[in-house]
Amino acid sequence: AIADDEKGHELDLFCVPRHYENDLDKVIIPHGLIMDRTERLARDIIQDMGGHHIVALCVLKGGYKFFADLLDYIKALNQNSDKSVPLTVDFIRVKSYCNDKSTNNVKVIGGDELSNLAGKDIVETGRTMQTLLSLLNECNPKMVKVASLLVKRTPRSSGYRPDYIGFEVPDAFLVGYALDYNEYFRDLSVSYTNIKINMHLNKNIYLY
């Protein structure tokens, strides 16, 4: 859990792309920490799955970095331990966000197989994931598990909790590591957190 008063890290300790320099405030979760935590989630997932085949379903776009890194760790475990889990992948795209607000309107595009595991970027109200889960459940999968890198502590939460959570984060807007603000900031490959952007709004948005 990242505390509400977490100070994060100063930007000039890291290599921030020039084009975002003035838009960001702080790094809240350094890239290495994301990777180390993801490695542990991979181990927990493999342990819980037993020998079940996993259809790993990536929830695009924001989930793509987490998904790719999580699967790399799962593959490494498959290669280096006695127990291994067969894995196939699929991709789905959901959109619920407008500017910096979660909306009631959740759109789902793509995906031709059902998942035993969904990989997602961030859960705020939980609405996107709940909508997706009810769609998946219509096809009666044997099991559905959700892994989300981030869960936001917010009064707007529906109470929904994913099965695997990387970090619980303050109620702020985060970008980087594939998370966007209106498609900007996905190209922050290093994980910037708690970054203040002023963009077109009169308020600060926090990124990671």
Contact residues for ligand IMP (CB under 6 A)? 62, 96-97, 102, 121-128, 152, 173-175, 179
Write down the least CB distance from residue 90 to ligand IMP, Å. 17
Rounded to a whole number of angstroms, the minimum distance from the CB of residue 51 to ligand IMP is 31
> Phi and psi of 80, rounded to 5°?
-120, 15
In the complex with ligand IMP, the residue whose CB is nearer, 46 or 166, is 166
- Which residues neighbour 69 within 8 Å (Cβ) at sequence distance 6 or greater? 34, 35, 38
Phi-psi region of 196 (alpha: psi -120 to 50; beta: other; left: phi over 0): beta
Do the Cβ atoms of 204 and 198 come closer than 8 Å? yes
Tell me whether residue 29 or residue 49 sits nearer to ligand IMP (CB atom): 29
Residue in the block written with tokens 């219509």 = 138
Site string for Mg ion, 172-201 (x = CB under 5 A): --------x---------------------
Considering the complex, state which of residue 56 and residue 85 has its C-beta at the smaller distance from ligand IMP: 56
Give the pair of three-digit tokens for residue 31: 């890239």
Distance CA(186)–CA(117), nearest Å, equals 23
State the nearest-atom distance from the C-beta of 128 to ligand IMP, in Å.
3
Sign of CA dihedral 123, 128, 130, 136: negative
Minimum CB–partner distance for residue 203 and ligand IMP (Å): 13
**Min CB(39)–ligand IMP separation in Å:** 22
Q: Which does 193 bind (CB under 5 to 8 A by kind): ligand IMP, Mg ion, none?
A: none
Binding residues vs Mg ion (CB under 5 A): 97, 180
